Amino acid sequence: MSSLIPLEDEYADILLKAMRGRRIAESELSARTGLPLELLSRLCRGEFCDEPALLKIAPVLSLDPQSLTIAAARAWRPRLHRVAGLEMFRLGWRRLWVNAYLIYDSSSGEAAFFDTGTDSVPLVKRVEQLGLTVRYVFLTHTHSDHVAALGELRAAFPQARVLCNHAEPWPNTELFTDEDSFSLGSLSVTPRTTSGHSVGGTTYVVDGLSTPLAMVGDALFAGSMGGGLISFEDAWRNNREKILTLSDETVICPGHGPLTSVGEEKRHNPFFAGEFR
């Protein structure tokens, strides 16, 4: 599962997200590092042309130098994760790709979707193949690429409850808070508000499969993080305190890019690796 899926962000994306989030322009970065603007512009365009320069940039942007240079060299990607009871769907969105997920309890046949992506057809087909009963559709956030197929899923599974965070309501959904929890056969689903990329962005922790899962939406990507569109500071803190404090074996299921794990992100994500060394 997700073995051939490229990382959502390359190292230039990481630099630009950190610069925007920390409110540090190229001119300030040049002044604080002593690096010429021309070199910084090349690095921000994705040219891995000067490793010593990256080592100077990283601490100014609160990035881990070792992980950043490894990202620039394209020398890491997460290992292959396979979890029985977890299905991943990679769906086209304009020129990009977005993920939706199905989890199910094999003993009861009860199932839930996490986000809908942009095309319900493969999601519905897989449920029919497995003979499952869809009880829930959980939304990690309401950006259009993650809810585009919601109407189609509602029509296919009218009995399913559609849920989203009370801080980010969506029409005709049930709202929850972090005090709520949900059962799915022998599985449990517990929400954690991980806002920052969106107002009510939510991570769902799923327990009861062979390994815990964290359905994180766009809060965290393999080797990177979401854009912090609402608040970079909140996004960073929530990732650090509510996702990366889960057990190392927890498989992270992001809204874009491949699966990863808490342990791998603590070692290899430039935004956070320095916090755990």
Same domain (yes/no): 109, 242: yes
Take residue 32 and report the two structure tokens written for it.
């604080």
Same domain (yes/no): 216, 238: yes
Q: Is residue 31 part of a domain?
A: yes
Q: What percent of the chain has pLDDT over 90?
A: 93
Q: Is residue 179 part of a domain?
A: yes
Same domain (yes/no): 49, 135: no
Q: Which of 44, 72, 100 is at the close of a domain?
A: 72
CATH code, domain with 19: 1.10.260.40
Task: Name the residue among 170, 101, 159, 94 with its Cα closest to residue 133.
Answer: 159
Q: How many domains does the chain have?
A: 2
Distance in angstroms (rounded) separating the CA atoms of residues 65 and 69: 6
User: In the prediction, which pLDDT does 7 show?
Assistant: 96
- Contacts of residue 146, defined as CB under 8 A and 6 or more positions apart, other chains included, come to 98, 100, 115, 116, 117, 139, 140, 217, 218, 255
Same domain (yes/no): 154, 269: yes
Same domain (yes/no): 214, 271: yes
Same domain (yes/no): 148, 269: yes
User: In the prediction, which pLDDT does 129 show?
Assistant: 98
User: In the prediction, which pLDDT does 94 show?
Assistant: 85
Distance in angstroms (rounded) separating the CA atoms of residues 76 and 58: 18
Residue 108 in 3-state DSSP? coil
Q: Is residue 77 part of a domain?
A: no
User: In the prediction, which pLDDT does 1 show?
Assistant: 52
Same domain (yes/no): 33, 95: no
Return the half-sphere exposure (C-beta side, CA atoms, 13 A cut-off) of residue 138: 33
Same domain (yes/no): 255, 198: yes
Same domain (yes/no): 57, 109: no
Q: Is residue 246 part of a domain?
A: yes
What is the pTM for the complete model shown? 0.96
Task: Look up the domain containing 144 and give its range.
Answer: 86-276
Q: Which of 48, 72, 96 is at the close of a domain?
A: 72
Which residues, given as ranges, of the chain have pLDDT below 50? none
User: In the prediction, which pLDDT does 48 show?
Assistant: 80
Q: Is residue 42 part of a domain?
A: yes
Same domain (yes/no): 111, 28: no
